[in-house]
Amino acid sequence: MNRNKRSIVLDFKTEQGSDILHKLIRKSDILVENFRPGTLARFGLDFEAASALHPALIYCSISGFGQTGPLCDKSGYDFIIQAMGGLMSFTGEPDGEPMKVGVAVTDLFAGQNAVIAILAALQARTLTGKGQHLDISLFDSQIGMLANVASNYLISGNLPKRYGNAHANIVPYNIPSRS
């Protein structure tokens, strides 16, 4: 995964680490961070401080529940977001327990949303010369991916069911039963 990449380890709690990071911010296009909201502000590395160093910086924050709101101070990771976001409620066998998806799809959804937002912010920067703070939430990303399941619930008020490998709205869309 890290082939052909350059990396550096900094302790931005130290003056030397903070100085190096400030130099990097001044010459970077994009900064992506995934600390809990407020963590980087304690070190003078939040969006306001970073954009004072480099007004054209695109600053992308990825967190479990976003930078604001009632759950912003909570940690969030893929498994918990799959449960809280409803994905596990309709994943698995019809008579079985809720089940997480086999890969960390919520992380992937959020990463994809971050890339889309960064590309849009870069395009906006070519017109305005200004950077932006992008707030990407795993929870928001998961809710956005509920697609037809969310629509079905919002229209009918009925909670989604587990369909195994079948689909709630499209047929044929499953592995045939073995009988």
Domain contains 172 = no
Give the Cα separation of 79 and 94 in Å (integer). Answer: 20
What single string gives the DSSP state of each residue in 40-67?
Answer: GGGGT-SHHHHHHH-TT-EEEEEESS-S
Burial (CB < 10 A; 0-12, 13-18, 19+), residue 69, is: middle
Give the Cα separation of 2 and 144 in Å (integer). Answer: 29
On the question of pLDDT at 146 being above 80, the answer is yes
Identify which of 139, 141, 7, 150 has the alpha carbon closest to the alpha carbon of residue 81.
139
**Is the whole model's pTM more than 0.75, yes or no?**
yes
Domain contains 173 = no
**CATH number for the domain that contains residue 32:** 3.40.50.10540
Domain contains 178 = no
Give the Cα separation of 72 and 75 in Å (integer). Answer: 8
Domain that holds residue 122: 17-156
Domain contains 68 = yes
pLDDT tens-digit profile of 63-112? 999 999 999 999 999 999 999 999 999 998 989 999 999 999 999 999 99
Cα angle 108, 111, 116 (rounded to 5 degrees) comes to 125
Domain contains 166 = no
Type of residue at 13: K
Tokens encoding 111: 């990463």
Going by pLDDT thresholds of 50, 70 and 90, the confidence category of residue 177 is low
Give the Cα separation of 135 and 116 in Å (integer). Answer: 12
pLDDT tens-digit profile of 9-49? 999 889 999 999 999 999 999 999 999 999 999 988 999 99
Domain contains 146 = yes
Quick one: how far is CA 46 from the chain centroid?
18
Let me know if 29 is a catalytic residue: no
Domain contains 117 = yes
Exactly one of 46, 78, 107, 140 is catalytic; name it.
Answer: 107
Type of residue at 6: R
Specify the number of domains making up the chain: 1
